[in-house]
Amino acid sequence: MRSRLTAVSRRRRGLLAVGLLGGGLVLVFLSTLIGLPDIAPRLGFQILVHQLSGGRLFPASCAGTGVAPGDCSKYTFIVWDLYLPEVLLALIVGASLGLAGGALQGVFRNPLADPFLLGISSGGTLGAAILYVYRIGEANAELFLPLFAFVGAISTGLVILAVARGRYGSVETLLLTGVALANLLSAVLSLVLLYNPIGSEQVTFWLLGGLQLADWEVDGLAFGSVLVFGTVLCLYGRELNLLQLGSDVAQSAGVDAPQVRLRVLLLSSLVTAVAVAFTGIIGFVGLVSPHIVRRLFGSDYRIVLPGAAVFGALFLLSASDISYLAFPGSLLPLGIFTAFAGVPFFLYLLYRQRRSTTMGGG
């Protein structure tokens, strides 16, 4: 990690950012068209443009594509109400996981922090499972589900914060605590499911992670909450920069370190909870995305946080695309694909970290 990072000039970074966002938009567009083999790209394109322009462009969206006029509304439904919400949910959830990962790495001063590895996602799942199994507030599930997931996620986060702040807050301790908590939570979950088979189908979905719940309403709810909490979280970039220099230095420079740590942890748990509530456990997005941003754009958390959101969104969408392309027609859990990319990366980071530094207290 010599000053290679700083060598990338400001202008090149600007170009890179513009290129990435442009590429991202193209990816979003293409992703919507992946799936049913008999939808021609041209048809999908026309339907999207028709819908986005409110019917002003391509007034007859299926014209010239060989689709019978009677089938046009069916295809419109597939593209607009099935595929696009799924793509958007992948973006929203990927962004929230990437952002949460970046923020957690900052709070714990530890490049291996991630909502999944720390067990925060598992905590959220347990919360969601309790709601389903015990049928609490089922009538208002869309409201109670995030709430329960949040309580589960936040409780786990607080336990980890307590451990990390103690004298034994080394990398190893932190990760092992996360692993232990995740295991404990899944044991509790198994127990709950064993005694209450009703609802276990929904819960299994959370354990594996997927985008099946996506529709416009879910997307709206997820987007709204991530936008609010995520924006607030992104405002803590300056504080996180200073926290990297240790609590005392941060404090002497005007950062109320304990307060900031608590708030960022709460916000990260909130953002994670939103993701977990709608898509279940998807690991490693939060681990990988911030690192890529740091490599490309430097270590300023004011950039790392929003950048990790963008990369997380694109990462999860790519994972989803790959799952559809590699196994057309089957609904494989997304977590499988993020793990394929994430685990080798994680091992590489662990290897590099062992060689360079161990995280101490103060």
Partner 1 sequence: MKADVPAVKVAHVGVTFGTRVALNDVDLRVDPGEFVALTGPNGSGKTTLLRTLLGFQEPDEGTVELFGSSVESLSVRERARRVAWVPQSEPQRDDVPLVQYVLYGRYPFHGPLDRDTERDREVAMRILEEVGLADRASDGILSISGGERQRAILARALAQETPLLLLDEPTTHLDIGHQLDLLSRVRTLAREGRVTVIAALHDLNLAARYADRIVVLSRGRRVADGGPREVLSEDLLARVWGVDADLAVDTRSGLPYLLPRRLVVENPPASGSLALGPVHVVGGGGAAAPLLRLLVDEGLRVTAGALHLLDTDAETAESLGVVAAVEGPFAPLSPETRARHRVLLGEAKAIVVAPFAVGPSNLANLEDLRAFVSRTPTIVIDAPADRSLDFTGGAATAAREALRAAGATFVADSTAALRAVQSVLSPPTRGPGTVGAPPQG
For the chain, list the strands marked E by DSSP: none
253 makes contact with partner 1 (CB under 8 A)? yes
Place of tokens 């922090």: 113
- At residue 90, φ and ψ (nearest 5 deg) are -60, -45
Cα–Cα distance measured from residue 196 to residue 260, given in angstroms and rounded to the nearest whole number: 40
Candidate residues 28, 30, 147, 246; the one interacting with partner 1 per rule CB under 8 A: 246
11 makes contact with partner 1 (CB under 8 A)? no
300 makes contact with partner 1 (CB under 8 A)? yes
CB of 254 to partner 1, least distance (A): 3
For partner 1, the closer CB: 99 or 131: 99
- Site mask for partner 1 (CB under 8 A), range 181-220, x = bound: ----------------------------------------
CB of 264 to partner 1, least distance (A): 13
For partner 1, the closer CB: 47 or 309: 309
Cα–Cα distance measured from residue 243 to residue 85, given in angstroms and rounded to the nearest whole number: 38
14 makes contact with partner 1 (CB under 8 A)? no
Output the 3-class SS for 171-222: HHHHHHHHHHHHHHHHHHHHHHHHHCCCCHHHHHHHHHCCCCCCCHHHHHHH
Give the closest residue to 359 by CA, choosing from 170, 183, 218: 170
CB of 298 to partner 1, least distance (A): 7
CB of 24 to partner 1, least distance (A): 24
Two structure tokens written together for 307 = 């950048």
CB of 4 to partner 1, least distance (A): 8
> Cβ distance 122 to 156 under 8 Å?
yes
Strand, helix or coil at 1? coil
Residues that bind partner 1 (CB under 8 A): 1-6, 109, 111, 165-167, 235-236, 238-239, 241-242, 244-249, 251-256, 258, 294, 298-300, 355-358, 360-362
